[in-house]
Amino acid sequence: MAEPHGAAPPAAPPLGRVVETGLYVDDLDRARGFYEGVLGLAPMLADARFAAYPVGDTVLLLFLRGTADQPIALPFGGAIPPHDGAGRLHFAFAVAAADMEPWRAHLQAHGVAIEGEVHWPRGATSLYFRDPDGNLAEIASPGLWANY
């Protein structure tokens, strides 16, 4: 049934959380070396075109750029529509405040340059660094946002 003239559309149902996020990389082996070797992530699933990592209750997906630009038929039915991305993206990992200094030392020990550091008004600290594809990663302690 159509809405009366001037009536607002109904509110969207609530969202829970971001379940997964994807990054697109030029060299999947190099990216896996960084995310597994430096950040300590262990893949749940990986093949020649992507790797999936559990991070808390979310999933970080790395896609080899250009390999997901066609629909992907799934063996159990359905298909994933095409997607791809370019440019230097940004994402953040949540860490306990007590783990900020160990993460700083860990990144430095692996030769990862910390490009920026911010001490936020709510009490959080953020450390910024790049992955091998130039994406801006952030390690952030609680207090960054009203909901974190």
Give CA–CA dist 139/30, Å, rounded: 21
Burial level of 62, CB count in 10 A (0-12/13-18/19+)?
buried
Confidence at residue 100, expressed as pLDDT on a 0 to 100 scale: 96
Confidence at residue 5, expressed as pLDDT on a 0 to 100 scale: 73
| Per-residue pLDDT tens digits for 2-16 | 556 778 889 998 889
Give CA–CA dist 106/101, Å, rounded: 8
Confidence at residue 4, expressed as pLDDT on a 0 to 100 scale: 61
Confidence at residue 123, expressed as pLDDT on a 0 to 100 scale: 96
Full-model pTM: 0.89
* DSSP per position, 35-46: IIIIT----SEE
Residue ranges of the chain with per-residue pLDDT less than 50 = none
Domains defined for the chain, CATH in brackets: 18-69 (3.30.720.120), 88-148 (3.10.180.10)
Q: Nearest Cα to 146, choosing from 122, 117, 118?
A: 122
